[in-house]
Each structure stands twice: as structure tokens, then as C-alpha cells.
Structure 1
Amino acid sequence: MTLRRRALLALACLSLVSPVAFAADKTAATTTAQSHDYPTQGRVEYVLGCMDDNGHDFVNVYKCSCAIDRIAAKLPYDDFVEQSTFSKYATLGGEGGAEFRVDRAKAQTKKFRALQAEAYRACGIGQAAALK
């Protein structure tokens, strides 16, 4: 079984766990209660992209999951999609990338990259400095 497949299975299993199971751990219960509702597919895509950028070590499944959980605690899903899209295509050249270089897009990119750098730092992912 490949590492990517194991990561997908681990995330799928984590999404099936009820928040009630974490009741003994106040930190996890509080984080779950305050997080915005992100679809599992969105979380898995983020984690796999994060692992593509930071290495496919199994420990990065947990670090990248931590990062998306921190982002979800602060940002509604629709805003996450918008900001991460602007961030992803900010360096797209030519006419096709023009809409990703307007002031609004630049502001959204800056917000997302700052939030992501904060999440990376908090979760121990090594590229936090590279995001600035």
C-alpha cells in the first residue's frame, strides 16, 4: 500500500470519529466545536497537497492534518477555497493569470499565506518561512 493511499485511509478514518469521542480531551473537543465545517474531500486534498510540498513521510499526514484543522478553525470553507485558489494561481503568467494579479486577489493571497504560515509553524511543518 502506497503512502498516499495510507494517508487517504487515515484521513477517512479520522473523519468518521465523532467529536463525542474526544470529550475527555478538552483541547480536541474545543477545537472541533470551534472549527468551520469543511468537507472531507477538501481536507484530504489540502493534506495531500501539503504532503506534496513537504514530503511524503507518514508524520506529515498528522502535521498537514493539524495545519488544515488550524485553518478551518479560523476561516469558513468558502473563504478558504477563494483564498487558497488566489494563492495557488498568484504566479500564473500571461492573460489567463491577470485576474489573479488584481488588488483584491493580492490581498486574499496575502491573508491566506499568512494564515497558512501560522498553521505550519504551529504544527511543526518546515516550510513556514518559505511561505512569507
Structure 2
Amino acid sequence: MISRCRALLAFTWVALAAPLAAAQNDAPPRAAPASGYNYPTEGRVEYVLTCMDENGHDFANVYKCSCVIDRMAASLPYDDFVDQSTFSKYATLGGEGGAEFRVDHAKAQTKRFRALQTAAYKACGLGPQKSSTVAK
């Protein structure tokens, strides 16, 4: 009885898997992964969600915000992205706590990040940035 069940299960699996395999063979090839630096998924997701918070939660912005982070990842290593986005986020922090983010090095990092982000926003069809989008 067990061998009959196994045979039936194997037949069922083959019967279900065959159309999937045929469909995969007929499907167009998948796009190659984006060139550039590899960012962790959580960093990309956080960026996209923050970008959507700033630009609206409509379905098109999922793709536009994903496009932005992909473009940034193509030209900036993740560690530099984190550093520059942090400087950019806290550039306007007042008081003594914000002093570290107002030194020349921090200003240069902020300027580079915002220029890269502005170019990516424009290329991906998003309007001007409302504030600085960052990943933590």
C-alpha cells in the first residue's frame, strides 16, 4: 500500500511539475542582476519604504523608489551609502549633538549624497526630494 501511495505521489508531482517546467522554458530570460554594489535587502527595503513615505504610497512609487536605490547602489558602496546618508539626515541637527555633522568632512559627504540622490530621483521619475531619504 505504501509503495502505491509513493508511486501515486511521484506521478502527481511529475504531472504538476511538467507544465511548470514547460512554462519556464517558454518564459523570457530573467534580467541580469543590477551591476554595481550589493546592498543588503533590508537596507534596500528600508530605503524604498522611506522614499514612499516622502513621495506617496501609490503602486508606481514602489518601482520608482526601487529604481532610485538601484541607481545609488550602482555607484556607491553600501558602507559609503550608510555614512553619507547618515551625514545627510543629521546635517540640520542643532545643538552640540549636531556639531559632528556640521564639520567640513560631513558637509562634503552630505553634498555628495544629496547630489547622487537628486540625480537618481530625476532619472527614476520622482519629483524633487521633500527631505533626505536614508537607510539606517
TM-score with structure 1 length normalisation?
0.74
Instruction: Give the structure, 1 or 2, with the largest relative contact order (CA under 8 Å, sep 6 or more).
Output: 2
Shift in Å at residue 21 of structure 1?
A: 2.2
Task: Report which of the two structures shows the higher radius of gyration computed on alpha carbons.
Answer: 2
Unaligned stretches of 5+ in structure 2? Answer: 1-28
User: Is 1:113 equivalent to 2:135 in the alignment?
Assistant: no
Q: Check the 8 A contact 1:91/1:97 in 2, yes or no.
A: yes
Name the Cα RMSD after superposition. 1.8
Q: Residues 91-130 of structure 1: CA distance to partner in whole angstroms, max 9, x if unpaired? A: 0011110000000000000000000000000000012598
- What is residue 60 of structure 2 aligned with on the other side? 59
2:30 is matched with 21
Residue pair 2:54, 2:130 contacting (<8 A) in 1 also: no
Report what 1:86 is aligned to.
Answer: 87
* TM-superposition CA deviations, 1:39-58 (whole Å, max 9, x none): 00000010011111111111
Q: TM-score, normalised by structure 2?
A: 0.72
Structure 2 counterpart of 1:115, one-letter code: L
Please list the CA deviations of residues 55-106 of structure 1 after superposition, one character each: whole Å capped at 9, or x if unmatched.
Answer: 1111101000000000000000000000000000100011110000000000
State the number of aligned residues.
104
Runs of 5+ consecutive residues of structure 1 not aligned to the other structure: 1-19, 23-28
CA–CA separation in structure 1 for the residues paired with 2:53 and 2:91: 19
| Structure with the higher helix share, 1 or 2 | 1
Counting aligned pairs with the same residue, the percent is: 73
